C-alpha cells in the first residue's frame, strides 16, 4: 500500500499512458455519451445496518424495466460517506454483475484527499465502473479555491483509466465548484461532464456556453430543475426522484428531447413537490421511505441519519399523493 515514491511515479506514468492510449485507440473519453436519466441509487441496509446486497440486487432487477441511461452508484443518496472503502468497492462489484453492459455504471470515487481519490478511482474501475463521479473535497472549504480544485481534479483525471464526471453539490459540501474551475477542467480530455446539484440555472447555462467547444456534458443533479436545465443545454439528469418515479422522470427527459414543451412543463410542475420532499425536504430517509411505497427496497439509513417521524411520513405521503393510488 505504501509503495515508495519512485514506484508510484512510474505507476502514475503508466496509468496516464493507459488512458491516453485508450483515448486515442478506441473509446475516447470525449466520445462517452452521458445523455439520459440516472437514478443515484440508494444503499439498502439490514436491520443492524449492514449492507443488504440481496435487496440491492432486487432493486436492480426492477430498475431494468425503466429506460435509464445507467445508474449512479454512491452519489449523495447512496450514503457513501457512511460506507467503508471496502463496502464502496463491493457495492460497485455487485451492481456491475447485475447491470446489462449497455447501461452506464457511473461510480462515486470522491474522497477528501487527492491520493485517496486516485486510489479509490482505480479500485472502482477494477470493480467495473464505466466512468467516475468525483465530488469536490470540502472539509477545508476555505482553502478549496479554483487553483486547489483544478489541481485535485487534474491529478485524478490524469491517473484515471476511464472518464471523470465532476460533481458539485453545495447543499452537502457547503462548496460550489467555481465556474472558472469547471471551464478550465472541461479542457481536460478525460473529464467529460459535470453533475450540478446546485440548481443555479444561470450558471448551468453559462457553463454550457463556455464549454461548447469541448462537448462538455452537463447533467442536472435534481429533478426539480430538470426541464429548465434541458432548456439551457443540459443533456441528462442524475435525479434522486428517479429512484421512486423512474418512468416519470424518463418521460420528462423524452418530452424535452422531442420538443413537447407544454406536456413537459405540466409533468415537470407535478414532479417538483415530490422531488423536494426526497431531497432537501426529508433527505435520504424520505427517499427510502417513498421507495417502499413504489415497490423498491428502501429501508433504514445508517446512523446518524434517523428514520422519519410519523408527522414527516404523513407529509411525505401528501407530497406524493398525485402519484399514489
The beta-strand segments (E) located in 14-130 are 36-38, 40-41, 70-73, 104-108
232 annotated among ligand-binding-site residues? no
User: Residue 98 phi/psi, 5° resolution?
Assistant: -100, 0
Residue 53 CA to residue 95 CA, distance in Å, equals 9
Residue choice 176, 233, 257, 323 for contact with a copy of itself (CB under 8 A): 233
Question: By rule CB under 8 A, what count of residues binds a copy of itself?
Answer: 67
Q: Does 48 bind a copy of itself (CB under 8 A)?
A: yes
> 191-196 and 164-168 as β-strands: parallel, antiparallel, unpaired?
parallel
Residues 182-201 that bind a copy of itself (CB under 8 A): 199-201
What CA–CA distance (Å, rounded) separates 317 from 309? 12
Which of 39, 75, 110, 224 forms a contact with a copy of itself (CB under 8 A)?
Answer: 224
Distance CA 67, CA 247 (A): 7
62 is catalytic: no
Q: Which residues contact 126 (CB under 8 A, 6 or more apart)?
A: none
38 is catalytic: no
Q: In whole angstroms, how close is the CB of 157 to a copy of itself at the nearest point?
A: 13
Eight-class DSSP state of 76: G
Between CA 307 and CA 244, with CA 237 as vertex, the angle to 5 degrees is 35
Q: Does 12 bind a copy of itself (CB under 8 A)?
A: no
| Among positions 58, 112, 176, 263, the unique one binding a copy of itself when judged by CB under 8 A | 112
Residue 188 corresponds to which cell in the numbers above?
481536460
Q: How far is CA 45 from CA 6, 89, 138, in A?
A: 41, 16, 27
Neighbouring C-beta atoms of residue 143, cutoff 10 Å: 9
Give the nearer residue to a copy of itself in terms of CB position, either 30 or 43. Answer: 43
* Binders of a copy of itself in range 120-179 (CB under 8 A): 137, 139-144, 147-149, 151-152, 155, 171-174
Select the residue interacting with a copy of itself from 40, 110, 274, 283 (CB under 8 A).
283
Binding-site sequence positions: 238
Residues that bind a copy of itself (CB under 8 A): 2, 5, 8, 47-50, 76, 81-82, 84, 112-116, 137, 139-144, 147-149, 151-152, 155, 171-174, 199-202, 205-206, 208-209, 222, 224-225, 227-228, 231-233, 259, 261, 265, 268-270, 272-273, 276, 280, 283-285, 302-306
Enumerate the active-site residues: 167, 195
Amino acid at each position: 500500500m505504501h509503495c515508495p515514491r519512485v514506484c508510484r511515479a512510474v505507476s502514475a506514468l503508466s496509468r496516464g499512458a493507459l488512458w491516453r492510449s485508450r483515448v486515442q485507440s478506441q473509446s475516447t473519453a470525449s466520445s462517452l455519451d452521458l445523455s439520459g436519466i440516472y437514478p443515484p441509487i440508494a444503499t439498502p441496509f439490514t436491520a443492524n445496518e449492514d449492507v443488504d446486497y440481496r435487496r440491492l440486487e432486487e432493486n436492480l432487477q426492477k430498475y431494468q424495466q425503466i429506460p435509464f441511461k445507467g445508474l449512479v452508484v454512491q452519489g449523495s443518496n447512496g450514503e457513501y460517506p457512511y460506507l467503508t472503502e471496502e463496502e464502496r468497492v463491493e457495492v460497485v462489484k455487485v451492481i456491475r454483475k447485475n447491470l446489462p453492459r449497455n447501461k452506464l455504471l457511473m461510480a462515486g470515487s470522491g474522497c477528501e484527499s487527492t491520493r485517496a481519490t486516485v486510489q479509490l478511482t482505480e479500485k472502482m474501475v477494477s470493480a467495473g465502473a464505466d466512468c467516475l463521479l468525483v465530488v469536490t473535497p470540502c472539509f477545508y472549504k476555505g482553502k478549496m479555491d479554483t487553483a486547489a480544485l483544478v489541481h485535485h481534479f487534474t491529478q485524478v483525471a490524469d491517473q484515471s483509466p476511464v472518464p471523470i464526471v465532476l460533481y458539485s453539490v453545495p447543499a452537502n459540501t457547503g462548496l460550489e465548484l467555481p465556474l472558472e474551475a469547471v471551464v478550465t477542467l472541461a479542457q481536460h480530455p478525460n473529464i467529460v461532464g459535470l453533475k450540478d446539484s446546485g440548481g443555479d440555472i444561470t450558471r448551468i447555462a453559462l457553463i454550457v456556453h463556455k464549454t461548447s467547444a469541448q462537448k462538455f456534458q452537463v447533467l442536472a443533479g435534481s429533478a426539480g430543475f430538470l426541464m429548465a436545465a434541458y432548456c439551457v443545454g443540459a443533456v441528462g439528469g442524475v435525479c434522486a426522484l428517479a429512484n421512486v418515479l423512474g418512468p416519470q422522470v424518463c418521460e420528462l427527459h423524452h418530452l424535452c428531447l422531442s420538443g413537447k414543451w407544454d406536456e413537459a412543463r405540466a409533468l415537470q410542475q407535478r414532479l417538483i413537490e415530490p422531488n423536494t420532499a426526497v431531497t432537501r425536504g426529508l433527505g435520504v430517509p424520505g427517499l427510502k421511505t417513498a421507495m417502499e411505497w413504489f415497490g423498491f427496497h428502501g429501508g433504514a439509513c445508517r446512523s446518524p441519519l434517523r428514520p422519519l417521524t410519523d408527522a414527516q411520513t404523513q407529509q411525505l405521503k401528501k407530497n406524493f399523493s398525485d402519484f399514489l393510488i
